Structure 1
Amino acid sequence: MAENTHPLALVRAAAGMTGVDLAREICAAAARRGLRSGVDKQRVRKWEVAGVKPDADSQEYIAEVFGIPLELVDVKAWPSWLPDAGMTPLGPASTVPALREALRASMERSRRFVLSAISGTALITLAGTWAAADAWLEVADRTQGKPIGEDLVVLLEETSARLTSVATQERQHTAPLIVAHLATVTDLIADGRYSSALGLRLHALAAHLSQTVAWHRFDHGLHGEAGRFWIAGLHSAHASGDRDMGAAILSDLAYQASWRDDPRTAARILEHAQSRTQHPAARSLLQLRLARALAAQGERSATLRALNAAEHLLNTPTPDPVPAWCSWLSAADLAVDSGRCLLDLGDTSQAHRLIAEGQALLPPSRDKTRGVFLAYRAQGHLIRREPEAAAADALEALELAERIGAPRCVQLVHDLVPAFAPYRAAEGVPELLHAVV
């Protein structure tokens, strides 16, 4: 039997729904409006198999079922407004399907199945849904399944913390173990019997592990997988009501969009992310990433406003502890990212000064970030027509990235190579060009 690849069928399956389930949810959406829908599983099948187009009311109900903002529904464009295939819509009971979709996608890569990155439209839709919806009461006492005790959850938490905090150069070896932990946590959430308190901790752990795996995939250029793991983490954080973690993951998706030369999508995602998080450090990071997206679009005034906001927020005192996901943010990051923004805006002298300042402030423990900063500084030297200094920074960044296993930083250096073409005779350039071959 051929697989049903209609977008509605894929979205429904990703949400763990049968045709009967979808029909029932559509009827419930109509009932909430005091109306009646005659949709049944046969009608759903006609939409998915026979190409029948749902009427406007039914499309509105479908959007509600999958948590899609009504302003994104284009009745005439059915079914193109539905989320990308493979991206589980945010909604009730969506956490486990989202986690399993990410894990499945990762396993399919080993069978040479290539995943594309999720479209900007779908990511903006997801961010809008997250910003508009309160958390579903998904984390509650579970009375069926195999019992899960405190000791097991503590073991998973402690082991996961150790795996995700090893030295930078060792992290390239821990990725399979982290994925295995995430798969175990997913199975426990899906099939275990536990208290609501343990359920909250399992969802928090799933969000943290998903985010960690996503960054590993992103650093290796596996953008389709990275996006799906970040989205799985968003589902986990949302189900437990952790708005700060949700904003963190959305900001990661925005960072990925900027990296993939889609700053407009990044800015739209960050607008939604900022709407539901309050801690000054968290908001500072979101403003800093927004500045990067705005600078890439040449929006000088807006970029400078975002940078000023990021600096002000970073220095704002608060009695609340800094969320773990942004505890690394420092004056070094603010300086370098500000410099990177100014490079995009053409202010090369000020940009170079800020990048050098941030490089000096960075602690030795953040080797991967140091490699990225060195690549940025090399770009600044090239813009200033200082090939010798640029080659020295680029070569240092390359050697550091290869030692710690940071392919994203390696790619940054490779991307600079064409700009060295006019300076092949300059000191250090031949050595750099030989090293990148």
Structure 2
Amino acid sequence: ADLWRADLAEADLLVRAQPDSAAWNTAALRWLVAPPDRELARTGNRAIGVVDVEMVRSTSDAFSMLDGKFGGGHARRALIQYLHTDVRPMLDGKYSDAVGKQLHSAVAEALLLAGWMSYDSGLHGVAQRYFIQALRMTQAAGDRLLGGSVLSAMSHQATFVGRYQDAVALARAAYMGPGASLGPTMAAQFRAMEARALARLGDERGCDLALAEAESKICQRTADSDPLYIAYFDEVELAAEFGHCFRDLGRSVEATERGAGSIFGDGMNNRSDFFATMVQAEAYINQGEIGRGFEIALSALNLGEGLKSARCLQYVREFQSRVTDGMRRAAEFRDFAEQAGGFRLWLRAGLV
């Protein structure tokens, strides 16, 4: 609750905070070795039941939809306000141990989303704190699978901010923690996160092995093999992970081939489509097909018009950094730059 209040108040120290490697590692170790809380029954004044738990889950789902379509910066503050105003009193209410476990698991999902939205907004220290809170909630609920998903999210963020060794360790902890309960979809997602970090480290063999296992696992998924919250991770998402990894390893042709099926195109996953499209654009210019690369980049910038996301901005800046002096002198770039100047993300990133 203190974190939620400080976040809503936009406390300066919190907003400017950066993620801390020791905090990631300590949280992961505690989660791996500590037993679940013994008893979650509470004796507060307000009776909390299964319908309240469902309310939290449904509200989180609505915010998740907004996050994917418009970016984390669009409704992040509204989610934190909901946690502070509506969810906190539920945690202080009256409920049985069974309902308490369900409630803490549902709140963990909401906190995980708060972490993702904060991360997407460029508030990395804030995001880390929400992820750690979510992990603690999964520990209280005894929900090892959701705890693994939280560690996987931490790994994703660690890779983004350049803490690649931390990202590898977090992804491996996510894979190990759930034990025999780990389903194929979650296993594939965790291995993909490990592969992302290994690609950034230049560990080609390790990355290939992790991707191969992820691909093997995703083929084993069934309609009921994993929790609903991981259902988003499918063949399209895995294709995007292949694209990211091969781009980072300098294998641009493979990045365009394996990443070709990484676009949803449904209007509901605009941010994911933006990331995958920018990776494709970068891979094409890296292999010398600048006309094709610039054409794809324009498609990505068009997707980004409705996105409020610091991560999207960083992808544009990375793309700009890959445009060499020779490319800038080409007619294809002049045409591209003229059109790109009409898009918000390109202007915010600054011209190359």
Shorter-normalised TM range = 0.7 to 0.9
Which one of 188, 191, 211 corresponds to residue 284 of structure 1? 188
C-alpha displacement of 1:254: 0.4
> What's the TM-score once normalised by structure 1's chain length?
0.71
The answer for the alignment partner of 2:318 in structure 1 is 415
- 1:400-419: CA deviation from partner (whole Å, max 9, x where unpaired): 12213333213211222133
1:246 aligns with 2:167: no
Amino acid of the structure 1 residue aligned with 2:204: R
Tell me, in whole angstroms, the C-alpha distance in 1 between the residues paired with 2:223 and 2:319. 44
C-alpha displacement of 1:375: 0.9
C-alpha displacement of 1:101: 4.3
Which one of 328, 331, 336 corresponds to residue 426 of structure 1? 331
- 1:60-107: CA deviation from partner (whole Å, max 9, x where unpaired): xxxxxxxxxxxxxxxxxxxxxxxxxxxxxxxxxxxxxxxx24314413
C-alpha displacement of 1:256: 0.2
Amino acid of the structure 2 residue aligned with 1:392: E
Answer whether contact 2:72 2:116 (CA < 8 A) is retained: no
The answer for the alignment partner of 2:288 in structure 1 is 385
Structure 1 segment 48-59 matched on structure 2, within 5 A: none
Amino acid of the structure 1 residue aligned with 2:287: R
Moved over 6 A (4+): none
Answer whether contact 1:397 1:409 (CA < 8 A) is retained: no
The answer for the alignment partner of 1:402 in structure 2 is 305
Percent of matched pairs sharing the same residue: 27
Gaps of at least 5 residues in structure 2 are: 348-352
1:376 aligns with 2:283: no
Tell me, in whole angstroms, the C-alpha distance in 1 between the residues paired with 2:309 and 2:223. 36
Answer whether contact 1:147 1:193 (CA < 8 A) is retained: yes
The answer for the alignment partner of 1:124 in structure 2 is 25
Amino acid of the structure 2 residue aligned with 1:206: V
Matched residues, number: 335
1:353 aligns with 2:253: no
Tell me, in whole angstroms, the C-alpha distance in 1 between the residues paired with 2:32 and 2:320. 41
Q: Which stretch of structure 1 is more off in the superposition, 393-402 or 212-221?
A: 393-402
Amino acid of the structure 2 residue aligned with 1:185: V
Tell me, in whole angstroms, the C-alpha distance in 2 between the residues paired with 1:151 and 1:115. 38
- 1:333-365: CA deviation from partner (whole Å, max 9, x where unpaired): 222211221222222211221122323x66543
Secondary structure, aligned partner of 1:109: coil
1:176 aligns with 2:77: yes
Tell me, in whole angstroms, the C-alpha distance in 2 between the residues paired with 1:157 and 1:344. 36
Which fold has the larger relative contact order, with Cα–Cα distance below 8 Å and residues 6 or more apart in sequence? 2
Tell me, in whole angstroms, the C-alpha distance in 1 between the residues paired with 2:195 and 2:57. 35
Secondary structure, aligned partner of 1:248: helix
Larger radius of gyration: 1
Answer whether contact 2:185 2:225 (CA < 8 A) is retained: no
Q: 1:429 to 1:421 in 2, by over 3 A?
A: farther
Structure 1 segment 238-277 matched on structure 2, within 5 A: 238-277=139-178
The answer for the alignment partner of 2:47 in structure 1 is 147
Tell me, in whole angstroms, the C-alpha distance in 1 between the residues paired with 2:196 and 2:61. 30
Which one of 189, 202, 215 corresponds to residue 103 of structure 2? 202
Amino acid of the structure 2 residue aligned with 1:132: V
The answer for the alignment partner of 2:90 in structure 1 is 188
> What's the TM-score once normalised by structure 2's chain length?
0.86
Q: 1:111 to 1:319 in 2, by over 3 A?
A: closer
Amino acid of the structure 2 residue aligned with 1:303: C
More helix by share: 2
Tell me, in whole angstroms, the C-alpha distance in 2 between the residues paired with 1:150 and 1:262. 40
Secondary structure, aligned partner of 2:288: coil
Structure 1 segment 151-162 matched on structure 2, within 5 A: 151-162=51-62
- 1:17-52: CA deviation from partner (whole Å, max 9, x where unpaired): xxxxxxxxxxxxxxxxxxxxxxxxxxxxxxxxxxxx
Tell me, in whole angstroms, the C-alpha distance in 2 between the residues paired with 1:267 and 1:369. 22
Structure 1 segment 197-346 matched on structure 2, within 5 A: 197-277=98-178, 278-317=182-221, 320-346=224-250
Q: Which stretch of structure 1 is more off in the superposition, 169-178 or 218-227?
A: 169-178
Q: 1:344 to 1:415 in 2, by over 3 A?
A: closer
Which one of 2, 7, 10 corresponds to residue 109 of structure 1? 10
Tell me, in whole angstroms, the C-alpha distance in 1 between the residues paired with 2:51 and 2:244. 46
Q: 1:171 to 1:129 in 2, by over 3 A?
A: closer
Tell me, in whole angstroms, the C-alpha distance in 1 between the residues paired with 2:250 and 2:75. 40
Tell me, in whole angstroms, the C-alpha distance in 2 between the residues paired with 1:161 and 1:225. 21
* Pairwise CA RMSD: 2.4
